[in-house]
Amino acid sequence: MARAAVSGRLGARLRWQAATLVERREETASAQTLVFDVPGWAGHLAGQHVDVRLTAEDGYSTQRSYSLASAQDADRLELTVQRVPDGEVSPYLIEGLAVGDRIEIRGPVGGWFVWRPEQREPVLLVAGGSGLVPLMAMIRAREAEGSRAPFRLLYSLREPADRLYAPDLERGSAGLDVTYVYTRSAPQGATRPPGRLAPADLVQWGWPPDFEPTVYVCGPTGFVEAAAVQLVAQGHDPGRIRTERFGPSGG
C-alpha cells in the first residue's frame, strides 16, 4: 500500500505534464516571471525545480531546469527566467512563448535544497544573480506559512538594474534581513564599494556559525563554490550548507 503510494507520487513527478502560459511579468530588462497553469499539479516545496521540455514541429526536443519561484499555489507555477545571451531555451521562453502557448514540465525535482515550514533555525540565503529564484520561493513560503524563523538574504548581483523581485524585497517582512552585494556598480550612497562577495560580507551580514543556521547557496557554479568554501573556512558545518548550481561560472 505504502509502496503503491510512493510509486504513484514518483510516477507523477517523472511524467511530463502540459503547462499553459497564463501570464508573464517583467522583472528586469533581461528576466521575466512566467506563470503557468498546470492542472492537477501535486504541489512542491520551496527550493525545488522543474524540468522544462520544448519540442519543435520537426520533433527536435530540448530540456532545461528552472527553479520554482512561488510558494505552493494550487495549479499555478511561477518560473523566473534570466535571458542567457545566445542561449537556446531562455531567449525562447522570454520572447518566443505567447500567453496561451503550452510547454511540457516534469517535477517537482529535488529533496535536499528545500526549506520546510517546520524548520525553526536561523536561515542564511546566499544568492548569485538568478540564483535568487529558489531562495525567493523560500522567503515566500516563510511568509505564506507565517513562520517566524529568522532569515537573512545576501544577494550578489552586478548592478541595481539587475535586481529581481525588487518590490517584494523592498516591502520586506518581519524577521527577514536583505543585503545587496553589488559586483560592478552600486547605487549612490551605498557604503560598500562594488566587488565580489567577500568573507567580510558573510561575517557582517550572515549568521555566526554558533547560531547553527542552515545555509542555502544558489547561483553560477563558480559563485556557489567560492561562497561554500568561505562559509566552511568561517566555521559553518558543511552538513548545514546546501548548494544548487545553475550552470557555468559566468553570470
Ligand X SMILES: Cc1cc2nc3c(=O)[nH]c(=O)nc-3n(C[C@H](O)[C@H](O)[C@H](O)COP(=O)(O)OP(=O)(O)OC[C@H]3O[C@@H](n4cnc5c(N)ncnc54)[C@H](O)[C@@H]3O)c2cc1C
**Percent helix, percent strand, percent coil in the chain, to nearest 5:** 30, 35, 40
Closest CA to 81 of 49, 107, 113: 49
Instruction: Name the one range near ligand X by CB under 6 A: 21-29, 163-171, 191-199, 243-251.
Output: 243-251
Site for ligand X in 171-200 (CB under 6 A): none
Q: Are 106 and 14 in contact (CB under 8 A)?
A: yes
Interface segment toward ligand X; rule CB under 6 A; list 53-61, 78-86, 173-181, 189-197: 78-86
Half-sphere exposure of 127 (CA within 13 A, CB side): 28
Rounded alpha-carbon distances, angstroms, from residue 73 to 12, 66, 76, 133? 18, 17, 6, 16
Return the number of the residue (209 or 247) whose C-beta is nearest ligand X: 247
Q: Which of 87, 117, 175, 209 binds ligand X (CB under 6 A)?
A: 87
DSSP 206: S
Q: How far is the CB of 241 from ligand X (least distance, A)?
A: 17
Which residue number, 88 or 212, has a Cβ lying nearer to ligand X? 88
The single-letter DSSP state of residue 93 is I
Residues 68 and 76 sit within 8 Å (Cβ to Cβ): no
| Whether residue 108 has a cis bond before it, omega within 30° of 0 | yes
The CB-of-250 to ligand X minimum distance in angstroms stands at: 5
CB nearer ligand X, residue 91 or residue 199: 91
Per CB under 6 A, does 97 bind ligand X?
no
Contact call for residue 35 and ligand X (CB under 6 A): no
Residue 84 interacts with ligand X (CB under 6 A): yes or no: yes
Binding residue for ligand X, selected from 28, 82, 156, 230, defined by CB under 6 A: 82
Residue keyed to cell 525553526: 120
130 touching ligand X, by CB under 6 A = yes
Does 94 participate in binding ligand X (rule CB under 6 A)?
A: no
| Exposed/middle/buried for residue 1 (C-beta within 10 Å: 0-12, 13-18, 19+) | exposed
Q: Are 100 and 18 in contact (CB under 8 A)?
A: no
| Selected binder of ligand X within 67, 70, 72, 156 (CB under 6 A) | 67
Number of residues that bind ligand X (CB under 6 A): 23
Find the shortest distance in angstroms from Cβ 128 to ligand X. 10
Binding site residues, ligand X, CB under 6 A: 49, 64-67, 80-82, 84, 86-90, 130, 133, 220, 244, 246-248, 250-251
